Amino acid sequence: MATQQIEKVSIIPQEPATMPIPQIPPTQSLIHVLSRAMSDPSIDVEKVERYAALYERAIAREDEIAFNTAMMQAQSEMRHIAADANNPQTKSKYATYAALDSRVRPIYSKHGFSLSFYTGEGAPEGSIRICCKVARGGHTERPYIDMPADGKGAKGGDVMTKTHATGAGVTYGRRYLLAMIFNLVIGEDDDGNAAGGDTISADQSGDLQALIESVNADKAKFLRFFKIEHLSELPTKRYQEAVNMLNAKARG
């Protein structure tokens, strides 16, 4: 009898086909879970609600961290602001809101902040509450300050109408709040020292650094002379003075 040969066939198990798992954006993951809970009665709704609460707290914490980090970065770019107006009653100088705004708005806007001023409730009698909505992304803070609005002067006499007093309270409140939010330093312009007015550009700062090195000047003494901590803080109107001084050292 002929021997029947059986051909052996090696069977290699195949990996089951897999579908790529889509990456659900964080802002949509909660909606996805809630949609399942609404359509599938077997899902524990209480667990979904607890998950949603944890999710919201985590997102809020991330937004707060981003807010604080951006605030630190914005404040690091804000310099001393010179007073640009006089108060004849107190015989003192101060920085107007326009002066503050022109210096800090480009910086805080670049870092994603927005400010909205409004009046709120709860101020003591004879005062007006000025509030500010400071927002960045999903995080918002609402500092406020109560300002007198009774029209009384420093000696207690009536110096303005209630309407004018309210307007003055709003003006002062916005100015004070803006300075408090970003921890601004305001003072008189001491002949251009301490970064009063515009400061030099990055190119000018680089040119000064190169000039200091070329004439072998003492940079620490140079900074102390102009009462600044960094070359970038040198007022524009003193740039030529700095260049002349360094060139004089080179000639001498």
The tens digit of pLDDT for each residue in 187-196 reads 654 433 333 3
User: Which value, in Å, is the radius of gyration of the alpha carbons in the chain?
Assistant: 32
Question: Same domain for 59 and 100?
Answer: no
Structure-derived torsion over alpha carbons of residues 208, 210, 212, 218, reported in degrees to the nearest 10: 110
Residue 89: band (very low, low, confident or very high) from pLDDT cuts 50, 70, 90: low
Which structural domain, as residue segments, surrounds residue 235?
Answer: 198-251
Q: Which of 68, 96, 130 is the last residue of a domain?
A: 68
Are 205 and 156 in the same domain? Answer: no
pLDDT tens by residue, 33-88: 666 666 666 667 677 777 778 888 888 899 999 999 999 999 999 988 888 777 66
- Of the residues 132, 158, 187, the one at which a domain ends: 187
Residues 157, 123, single domain; the answer is yes
Q: What is the pTM of this model?
A: 0.56
Nearest alpha carbon to residue 223 among 213, 237, 233: 233
Same domain membership, residue 60 and residue 88: no
Residue 75 counted as domain residue: no
Residue 121 lies in a domain: yes
One domain, residues 110 and 143? yes
Of 148-152, 198-202, 236-240, the one with minimum mean pLDDT is 148-152
Q: Which of 187, 206, 225 is the last residue of a domain?
A: 187
Encode pLDDT of 121-172 as tens digits.
999 988 999 999 999 999 999 999 998 887 655 555 555 677 888 888 898 8
Residue 206 neighbours by CB distance under 10 Å? 13
